[in-house]
Structure 1
Amino acid sequence: MTGMSAALRRRFARFNAAAGLLVTIVALLLAPASPASAHAVLSSSSPAASTVVPSAPAEVVLTFSEPVRKVPDKIRVIAPDGSRADRGEPTFANSVVNIPVDTSAGNGTYLVTYRVISADSHPVSGAFTYSVGAASAPPVDTGNDSRADPVVSTAIKVAKFVGYAGLLLVVGPALVLALLWPRRLSRRGPARLAWTGLGLVALATIAVTLLQVPYTNGGGPFDITGEGLSLTLGSAFGAAHLVRLGLLAAAVFLLRPLLAGSVGRADLVILGVLAGAALLTWPLAGHPAASPAPAVSVVVDAVHLGSMAVWLGGLVMLAVFLLPRADERELGAILPIWSRWAALAVSALLLAGVVQALIEVATPAALVSTQYGRLVLAKIGLFAAVIAVAAYSRYLVRKRIAASRPAPVRRAILAELAITAIVLGVSAVLVQTPPARTASADVAALDGGSFSTRVNSSLYSLEIEVTPAERGNNSVHFYAYTLDNRPQPVVEWKATVALPSAGIEPIDVPLLPLTPNHATGEITLPAAGEWEMRVTARTTEIDQATVTATVPIR
């Protein structure tokens, strides 16, 4: 009777797991297709930026370099008197956005601001002006901040780090308990660790999905609206996260007997399929799905993530449970097998990482000229340190020192885990950073590179962007923040650039305020060299401060 009950429980668990897998497959089939390309760039507009047209257009047309999705109430046309000139909802047709405009708003300069979602789930924002009849003082859009809230951006990175940590905490115990765990040892500790890991993955998945709403809207962490959530869940990004939650729910039914030590071979196969499908949801919700070779990038990223989970999860099991509890005979049997597994996982991790970097970085120069490239270099450096420590651990295993004296191996493993915790943090930032290939595409579209820096005064912190950082016509953007990193409204902007080495005296930069903390301008820098930029921002009627920055122009 007991055997019959156990068999029925196994069949019931398989049925529920299969049902969960079927539901997620259907969800994938019904999910909207996500186009494969780089970060969206505004290719053209009608009317064109900075032009004067004789009569008011009935609509403004934006054309992007790839299909984009809308963000509620984040595409606006501001009339010369500061009122809203856009009428009704803009229409999206692949890469073209049509904005109906009131033709009776009068002559003068109009401001167009936009915020849309590109194929890799990141928001893209910008602004430009056009004039009807004759130019006038440009208006200001006070309700459309073009930057994501820094609290939201940081929270997403933290949530993704928690998700990665949870993944290795569930994979490590499941793998070791299924194939390497000594029968005499209690399974309670590893089982608790696995359930904790599963809970962390689920919690991180829900948190990232909810935070995607204010991240795309440009709001604070609690600015989650029903419309915004509906748009997020209806995207490929949202579908991937819902599928992950469904796969986690299906895996629960098979993970329970595995952790208890009563799982069958068929259950392990189904659980492996569920795990593989779940791994694919990470790249399907990020940069790999929008790469030039999406099929390759998605598979490679899943292999990269799975290898990381096997390696680090196994190290956690060794450091926390096996080395302190197993005897010399058990360690003598376990450690050589684990050493081979770790070598395979590290090899797959390294190979997948190289392929991934080649696709996402695109050019050697982008390794040092983009934030994404520099993060990749940091990850490579940390990974090299981990490999060195892992090689030492493998040496101890080969010399059969580990079984008789596990303390040195445990110290080496703890060092590996400490370094790889930093690697996971870098990875969490990396997946929120536009790929270097995206920066390269933007640079190609603008025929030049870009320069950005952040300088501080006693009143505010100022982010300065110059694009392209080459001789010729240049765009400058200034973003003012309080010293605790919140948007700082600016009453008046003034900026000059000079090149003393070439005898060029300070040149005024004409500035257009786009939002209370953001101004932009166009200027021609005629010579290469180290240009001196001085920016004065007046934050109240009496408070102002000036900052300086050196801008290298090629």
Structure 2
Amino acid sequence: MTAPTPLPRRTRVVRPFARLAAGVGLLVVLVALLLAPAGPASAHAVLVSSNPAASAVVPSAPAEVVLTFSESVRQVPDKIRVIAPDGSRADRGGPSFEGGVVTVPVDPAGGRGTYLVSYRVVSADSHPVSGAFTYSVGAPSTPPVDSGADTRADPAVGLATKVAKYLTYVGLLLLVGPVLMLSVFWPRRLSRTGPSRMAWTGLALVAVGTVLGVWAQVPYTAGGGLFEVDGAGLRDVLGSDFGLAHLVRLGLLAASIFLLRPVLTGGGGRADRVILAILGGATLFTWPLAGHPAASPAPPLSVFVDAVHLGSMAVWLGGLAVLAGFLLRRAEEHELDAILPIWSRWATLAVVALLLAGTVNALIEVGSPGALVDTLYGQLLIAKIALFGLVVGVAAVSRTLVRRWREAARPRPLRRALWLELAVAAVVLGITATLVQTTPARTAGSDVTGTESTLFTTTLTSPLYSLQVEVDPAEPGSNSMHLYAYSPDKQPQPVVEWKATIALPSAGIEPIEISMLPLTDNHATGEFNLPASGEWQLRVTVRTSDIDQATVTTTVPVR
């Protein structure tokens, strides 16, 4: 018996539908190009500024530390800490959150020295963001160690989150492929047992991956090992957008079970299939709503195209799995003669949608051409594109074999091509599972605590005063210098006059006079240009009264 009679009619509507889809896809890409650059940095929050600034030296202890992130963040209990120079806690009370701004009250009577600020928060796309920086009051000292706050997650937790994502992706294509092929392409004389088992396996994998993802999110968010999960942490995760999206997915899967059985066995009416398709479409949106797209510069667009990307993948690869695993081995020649050309058009349409959606996602998440090669996210994306190109190349070979089906009538070469297509696609899914856990290229380089500083700082002493010196960036070219004067009892020392010169005797460069601008009684700044690298000799004279002055010197390494 040949394929169902409605197939020829579908053949007639595929071409106009493909043209319409291509036009809509191009329009979506255009909208992405217009909207994406206008939004702020997306997904995976990073610390963009702090007050006091990282590595800054302030004259007196602040009453609060303010952290400003690139997007809204939420709290992880007791994971934002300020440690005093003596190792004690300097923060007082819990931090307050207002969008991307976190305010931490600290002891304004804190002593002099270097303070450590460590933080761990959860970004809007459900990924934890952690880091640390220091600031100093009066003058730097040996940085303290925060032995009570381990913000690291066990490596097994990171692996578990990737495995959970991979299981849901594989499960999705194993579920969608059989449902599609059994509903549209399956010859009535063939047994449905194999594809039905594949579909149930796929549903189980999606459910297991979803539960594992929720479980691993607890230590992934708060730090710790894979089995360090308590009720409070689980409630916190389930109460987040991430947890809500996963709970909705599990609910939709449970509702689908009642409609899936009759569809897989060949029963059920058109209404069952329509409702099942609606539930399936709604389920697709739970992936982007729990990840990067929900926190992008254009969330509605990102969520939509990511769902299209995921659905197209499931249709294409899931259909290939059923075709290679069952139909090419069991169907007769005249049945394949009716099925293959139509499936080839469906697969082409799915690949076009996949490419368009992937292009939009790349435009939004990468942000600039340089980020493709300068960030891990961009490098993974290049690898994914290269492998996807290989998959498309193998698919083109498969289409050629389909067009020659009537001449060759041999399923083995086509089956081999399809299995190769699926094998490479499995690697692509693995990269995708890693990609969604990686900081998007748009924000990967924005973290102020992740950049290497070349700031030179030292404290010089004389009988009249101590002098805190900062030269930034201590590199050839334009530099700025800040000087802070303190009395022997460590109080701000009023200064009547500042003088400073810098020279490079090894290169024959005579002292360069630095014009100093007083900012407060004990703080002055100056701008100067260094023409070369080397060991520059800095000389500073500070006059504290009409008759009292002292000169201090230091060597500034310029690289």
For normalisation by structure 2, the TM-score amounts to: 0.71
1:212 aligns with 2:217: yes
User: 1:482 is matched with which residue?
Assistant: none
For residue 527 of structure 1, report the CA deviation from its aligned partner. 9.9
1:115 aligns with 2:120: yes
> In the alignment, which of 392, 400, 403 is matched to residue 397 of structure 2?
392
Quick one: distance in 2 between partners of 1:57 and 1:358?
41
User: 2:99 is matched with which residue?
Assistant: 94
Q: SS of 1:111's equivalent?
A: strand
The one-letter amino acid of 1:76's match is R
For residue 37 of structure 1, report the CA deviation from its aligned partner. 3.5
Counterpart mapping for 1:63-74 below 5 A: 63-74=68-79
> In the alignment, which of 135, 138, 142 is matched to residue 143 of structure 2?
138
CA RMSD in angstroms, aligned pairs only:
3.1
For residue 91 of structure 1, report the CA deviation from its aligned partner. 1.9
User: 2:227 is matched with which residue?
Assistant: 222
Contact residue 68 and residue 100 of structure 2 kept, 8 A = yes
For residue 374 of structure 1, report the CA deviation from its aligned partner. 1.1
> In the alignment, which of 233, 238, 242 is matched to residue 237 of structure 1?
242
Quick one: distance in 2 between partners of 1:63 and 1:396?
57
Give the 3 Å change call, closer, same or farther, for CA 131–279 of structure 1 in structure 2. same
Quick one: distance in 2 between partners of 1:64 and 1:357?
23
Counterpart mapping for 1:383-532 below 5 A: 383-401=388-406, 404-439=409-444, 442=446
User: 2:373 is matched with which residue?
Assistant: 368
For residue 145 of structure 1, report the CA deviation from its aligned partner. 3.4
Higher mean C-alpha deviation, range 300-309 or range 127-136: 127-136
For residue 421 of structure 1, report the CA deviation from its aligned partner. 0.6
User: 2:271 is matched with which residue?
Assistant: 266
Give the 3 Å change call, closer, same or farther, for CA 46–373 of structure 1 in structure 2. closer
Q: SS of 2:443's equivalent?
A: helix
The one-letter amino acid of 2:417's match is A
For residue 357 of structure 1, report the CA deviation from its aligned partner. 1.2
User: 2:286 is matched with which residue?
Assistant: 281
For residue 321 of structure 1, report the CA deviation from its aligned partner. 1.0
Give the 3 Å change call, closer, same or farther, for CA 472–223 of structure 1 in structure 2. farther
Quick one: distance in 1 between partners of 2:450 and 2:289?
31
Contact residue 36 and residue 294 of structure 1 kept, 8 A = no
For residue 135 of structure 1, report the CA deviation from its aligned partner. 3.6
The one-letter amino acid of 1:390's match is A
Quick one: distance in 2 between partners of 1:251 and 1:211?
25
Quick one: distance in 2 between partners of 1:183 and 1:473?
78
The one-letter amino acid of 1:179's match is V
Contact residue 47 and residue 449 of structure 2 kept, 8 A = no
Contact residue 36 and residue 290 of structure 1 kept, 8 A = no
Give the 3 Å change call, closer, same or farther, for CA 471–95 of structure 1 in structure 2. farther
Q: Note the alpha carbon deviations across 1:172-192, whole angstroms, 9 max, x for none.
A: 011111111111111111111
> In the alignment, which of 188, 207, 213 is matched to residue 202 of structure 1?
207
The one-letter amino acid of 1:62's match is L
Give the 3 Å change call, closer, same or farther, for CA 405–371 of structure 1 in structure 2. same
For residue 36 of structure 1, report the CA deviation from its aligned partner. 8.3
The one-letter amino acid of 1:327's match is E
1:153 aligns with 2:158: yes
User: 1:187 is matched with which residue?
Assistant: 192
1:85 aligns with 2:90: yes
For residue 159 of structure 1, report the CA deviation from its aligned partner. 1.4
Contact residue 132 and residue 449 of structure 2 kept, 8 A = no
Contact residue 63 and residue 96 of structure 1 kept, 8 A = yes
For residue 407 of structure 1, report the CA deviation from its aligned partner. 0.8
For residue 97 of structure 1, report the CA deviation from its aligned partner. 1.7
User: 1:326 is matched with which residue?
Assistant: 331
For residue 447 of structure 1, report the CA deviation from its aligned partner. 12
1:355 aligns with 2:355: no
Quick one: distance in 2 between partners of 1:290 and 1:133?
40
Q: SS of 1:413's equivalent?
A: helix
For normalisation by structure 1, the TM-score amounts to: 0.72
Quick one: distance in 2 between partners of 1:285 and 1:235?
9
Q: SS of 1:115's equivalent?
A: strand
Q: Note the alpha carbon deviations across 1:171-218, whole angstroms, 9 max, x for none.
A: 001111111111111111111111110010011011111111111112
Quick one: distance in 1 between partners of 2:476 and 2:154?
33
Contact residue 169 and residue 206 of structure 2 kept, 8 A = yes
Give the 3 Å change call, closer, same or farther, for CA 528–167 of structure 1 in structure 2. farther
Quick one: distance in 1 between partners of 2:133 and 2:380?
32
Contact residue 397 and residue 403 of structure 1 kept, 8 A = no
Quick one: distance in 1 between partners of 2:262 and 2:118?
55
Q: SS of 1:439's equivalent?
A: coil
1:127 aligns with 2:127: no
Give the 3 Å change call, closer, same or farther, for CA 54–399 of structure 1 in structure 2. closer
Give the 3 Å change call, closer, same or farther, for CA 54–397 of structure 1 in structure 2. closer
Q: Note the alpha carbon deviations across 1:347-367, whole angstroms, 9 max, x for none.
A: 111111112111111111211
Contact residue 177 and residue 314 of structure 2 kept, 8 A = yes
Structure 2 spans left out of the alignment, 5+ residues: 1-39, 454-472, 480-506, 508-529, 534-558
Quick one: distance in 2 between partners of 1:277 and 1:471?
57
Give the 3 Å change call, closer, same or farther, for CA 284–395 of structure 1 in structure 2. same
> In the alignment, which of 143, 168, 178 is matched to residue 163 of structure 1?
168
Contact residue 247 and residue 274 of structure 1 kept, 8 A = yes
Quick one: distance in 2 between partners of 1:407 and 1:447?
53
Q: Note the alpha carbon deviations across 1:418-465, whole angstroms, 9 max, x for none.
A: 11011111111111111111225x17x799999xxxxxxxxxxxxxxx
Quick one: distance in 1 between partners of 2:367 and 2:51?
32
Quick one: distance in 1 between partners of 2:58 and 2:344?
71
User: 1:246 is matched with which residue?
Assistant: 251
Q: SS of 1:37's equivalent?
A: coil
Structure 1 spans left out of the alignment, 5+ residues: 1-34, 451-467, 475-502, 504-525, 530-553
User: 1:461 is matched with which residue?
Assistant: none
For residue 62 of structure 1, report the CA deviation from its aligned partner. 2.1
> In the alignment, which of 278, 291, 295 is matched to residue 290 of structure 1?
295
For residue 391 of structure 1, report the CA deviation from its aligned partner. 1.1
Q: Note the alpha carbon deviations across 1:237-270, whole angstroms, 9 max, x for none.
A: 1111111111111111110111111121111111
Aligned residues: 430
For residue 76 of structure 1, report the CA deviation from its aligned partner. 0.6
Quick one: distance in 2 between partners of 1:272 and 1:167?
13
Q: Percent identity?
A: 69
The one-letter amino acid of 1:273's match is I
Give the 3 Å change call, closer, same or farther, for CA 402–153 of structure 1 in structure 2. farther
Contact residue 396 and residue 402 of structure 1 kept, 8 A = no
Q: Note the alpha carbon deviations across 1:290-337, whole angstroms, 9 max, x for none.
A: 111111111111111101100110111011111111111211111111
Q: Note the alpha carbon deviations across 1:477-530, whole angstroms, 9 max, x for none.
A: xxxxxxxxxxxxxxxxxxxxxxxxxx9xxxxxxxxxxxxxxxxxxxxxx9999x
For residue 74 of structure 1, report the CA deviation from its aligned partner. 0.8
